[in-house]
Every structure is written in structure tokens, then in C-alpha cells.
Structure 1
Amino acid sequence: MRSLFVFLTAVLLIQGTAGARNILPLPAHQKELAIVIDDLGNDMKGTEEILHLPVTLTLAIMPFLPSTKADAENARRFGHEVIVHLPMEPVSGKASWLGPGAILTSLSNEEIRSRVEKAIDDVPYAVGVNHHMGSKATADDRVMRIVLEVCKERGLFYLDSKTTGKSVIPKLARELEVPYLENKLFFDDVYTLQHIGKQAKHLSHELDESESTIAIGHVGVTGMKVAVMLKEFIPLYEKKASIVPLSDLIPEYHLIDESMP
């Protein structure tokens, strides 16, 4: 009888412990990772696969393109964050890669402001901005001052994709008090699957060293490769960090729901 009592007591203790584990919240990760996917808006390859990934991503959507609004709506429906992927002048590259409404260094102050405002208006649910290409424009003090002034007026943050080492964004953002972030890694700056996998592994090592980090991939030419890579690596990343939208990396940044009274 005593043996039976001990056995039943042990079972109840085990069940009680298991039950307690089920109701206790999992400990939050101290580290955070934001994954940004650029170039949405033109029904690009990999878009559907990216949308269906089981984590919250930040999707950078280009304005004035055939699927701009549909991609923004789908991003919201699947729980992703939206930012404007603003086309900006590069040092080199085809003009056709920029898309409509590009920010060029030859434009007047008034035209730059007008184009930035229209681009923001064209991308529903946007809470921030980053640039498409832009190695020349983001090194231009006059151009970026106007871009960041509009961001401040609209309550948007700015992600410096770091397409040039001469970016004036950090200096101006601090001066204008615009929340800004900096990209740390491109998954697909080289288009091969081997390189994308190498960058994915590098990001895993980066998470061992950094409290927070940002990585950018693309839909389009590399879209399917990036989607496949992320599907494989997300479980590993989630063991090391919380995968969060970009806005979560900005201290005390709160999104305002304008529909609220």
C-alpha cells in the first residue's frame, strides 16, 4: 500500500509540474532580429512565399507599381509590417531599375518633397521608409534633408539600407530627430544560392554577438532562393532571438492608430 501511495504521489507531482509548465509563459528572448524584404510592389517572384513565412517580417514596397496596394494589403493581412521602398538615384545602374517617381539629385527641392509625399501616400499602412538603390542620393545632404523632413512630418522612421559608405542619413537623422536604423547584412547582394546560404549562416553568428540586428533580402531574381533559405533558417534564428518588425528596434517608438478617437 505504501508503494502504491508513493507511486500515485509521484504521478500527481509530475502531472502538476507538467501542467504548470503549460501555463507559464515562455521566457522572452533578450536579442532581437528584424528581417526586411525589399522590392515588393511589382508582383515579383517569391512574394507569395515570403508572405506565408511564419514570422513577422518588414516588407519594403515600392510605390506606383501594379501590385503596390495589393502587396500592402496582403502584408497587413498576414501580419507583416510595411514600409515604403523609395526609389533613389544610384551612382551607377540602369535607370529602368529605379521605377516611377524616383528621387534624383537633379530635382528641385519642391519636386523632391512632392515625390516623397506622393510615394508615402501610395503605399498603404507604411510606418517607415527605406531606399531602393540610392547610393548617390543618400550621400547628398540636400536631398536627404528633404526626405527626412517629410519622414518626420509624417511620423515615419527611416531604415538606412547602407548601399553606400558615404551615407549622410545618420548625421541628418540625429540632427532632425528622426528615428532611424541601419542595415547590417544583405542576404542576396550576390545572387547565388551558395552566397545566400553563406550570408544566412553569417547572420546566425552575428546573433551570437549582437543584441539586435537587421538583415535585408529581396523578392524578384533571388526571391525564391531567399524564401527557401529563410524557411530553413528561421527555426535556428528563433532559438537565438525574437524575430520582430523594424519598429520594435526603435526605443520608445509607438505606432499611432489614427482611427482611434
Structure 2
Amino acid sequence: AIIIDDMGYHRRLGAELLALGMNLTFSFLPHAPATAEQAEQAWQTGHDILVHMPMEARDPAFDPGPGTLYLNDSPARIRSLTAENLALVPHAIGMNNHMGSRYTENRPAMHEVLALLRQKGLFYVDSMTTPRSVGMDEARKMGIKTGRRRVFLDNVKTRKDTCHQLRLLVAAAKKHGQAIGIGHPDEAMLKALTRCRDHLLRQVRIVGVHELVR
């Protein structure tokens, strides 16, 4: 599965990624201006929709943006913000974390968020922005379907590097039977998917991420 994070800001790139005709999963930032419109379009064309939940990063220089969950929030505020963020993304069937290298290491904080996912019948994909994340483990303990990111596809924003990461994702899928990669709506991702699409589709079956959570 290939998840495209940070959807909802880049109208043209979002539209062009949708137009590729690949079974990509799209994860939308709740407060982004084009989220409602693009999520509707993605849903109508059969794509999995996720909420890209903004969570506190370890480095305060990184601002996850509006609707961010912070560790010093009260449990009541965490629940209300989570509910609000979930409600802003139409047709969402799951959630993954946006940033969150600090937040996802905290079990009680993750429990509050995951409890609401369980209540709404949503699954959780751990973006693994920290190797010490407890998100997937806590979701499993709570009986929530879950999975985790194996490969970041476009940390280096060039077509060549992104194509290389896509090949690593294919290798991981062949080794483990499945793999989840995460990319972003940028030119490198679009060019890499356009260039490598036929090769990818010959090697593996690209599925909506809902097929890979357990």
C-alpha cells in the first residue's frame, strides 16, 4: 500500500495523483482548505481515505499545524480535538499520525486517541516517525486493526531517490508478504509514480491500506 500524506493543501498535485489511476491511499490533514473537496473526489474514485492526525513532535521547531494533539492537553481536550479532527475528513476509514515523534511514544496519550478510533470502528496506521512509538502496540492491545509504515518514499525530494525508495518498498513487500510506504503530494512523488507505475504493477499488487491492517 502507498499512503500519500499531507493531502488537502496541494490542489493540483492532489488532482494529478488522483488522476494516475493507481490504488493509492490518501491521508488528509483535517484543517487543510481542500480536504473536504479532495476527500470526496478520492472516495468517489474508490480510494481509501485516512485522517492525518496532527500530533506533537519531539522538536518544538516542527509545528504540526492546526488541531495538533499535545501531551500536556487534558484527556478531555485530547478526546474533543480528536473527535473534531476525525469529523473534518469525510469518508475516513482510518487514521495515521502527522509528525507525532513525541506524542506517539506516550502510551496514555495514545490510548485516549485510539479509544475514539475503536468507538468509531476506524483502524490506525503508525507512521513510525519515531522508532519508540507505542501506537501500533497499544492499538493491538485494544483490539484495533493496525499496521505500520515500513518505507518513507520521498525524504529526498528527487524522482530518482523516490524511485529507489519505491523499489525498496517492493522488496519489503516481497520479503514480508506486504508493506506500507508513505509519500507526499510533491513533484518528486508524482514523477516517480508516473515513471515507475508499470514496473511497480508488474511486481506487486497495490492495495488500499485497509487490506493490510490486522
Tell me whether the two structures share a fold, i.e. TM-score over 0.5.
yes
> Superposed, which structure 2 residues align to 1:76-91 within 5 Å?
76-91=43-58
The secondary structure found in structure 1 opposite 2:180 is strand
Identify the residue that residue 197 of structure 2 maps to in structure 1. Answer: 234
Larger-gyration structure (1/2): 1
| Distance in 2 (alpha carbons) for counterparts of 1:217 and 1:69 | 20
* Superposition deviation, residue 240 in structure 1: 2.2
* Superposition deviation, residue 208 in structure 1: 3.2
Work out whether residues 52 and 78 of structure 1, in 8 Å CA contact, stay in contact via their aligned partners in 2: no
Tell me the C-alpha RMSD between the 2 structures: 1.5
**TM-score, with normalisation over the residues of structure 1?**
0.78
| Distance in 2 (alpha carbons) for counterparts of 1:44 and 1:102 | 22
Equivalent position to 2:153, from 179, 187, 203: 187
Letter in 2 for 1:113: R
Q: Cα distance 1:106–1:44, how it changes in 2: closer, same or farther (>3 A)?
A: farther
Identify the residue that residue 5 of structure 2 maps to in structure 1. Answer: 38
The secondary structure found in structure 2 opposite 1:212 is coil
The range that moved more, 46-55 or 129-138, is 46-55
Segments of 5+ residues of structure 1 without an aligned counterpart are 1-33, 252-261
Letter in 1 for 2:153: F
Segments of 5+ residues of structure 2 without an aligned counterpart are none
* Superposition deviation, residue 51 in structure 1: 0.9
1:104 aligns with 2:70: yes
Work out whether residues 43 and 66 of structure 1, in 8 Å CA contact, stay in contact via their aligned partners in 2: no
Q: Cα distance 1:142–1:44, how it changes in 2: closer, same or farther (>3 A)?
A: farther
The range that moved more, 107-116 or 47-56, is 47-56
* Superposition deviation, residue 166 in structure 1: 0.7
1:176 aligns with 2:138: no
Identify the residue that residue 26 of structure 1 maps to in structure 2. Answer: none
Equivalent position to 1:207, from 145, 166, 173: 173
Sequence identity percentage: 33
Identify the residue that residue 130 of structure 1 maps to in structure 2. Answer: 96
1:218 aligns with 2:184: yes
Tell me the alpha carbon deviations over residues 93-133 of structure 1, each in whole angstroms, 9 at most, x when there is no partner. 535x4121101111000000000001111100000000111
Letter in 2 for 1:241: V
* Superposition deviation, residue 87 in structure 1: 0.5
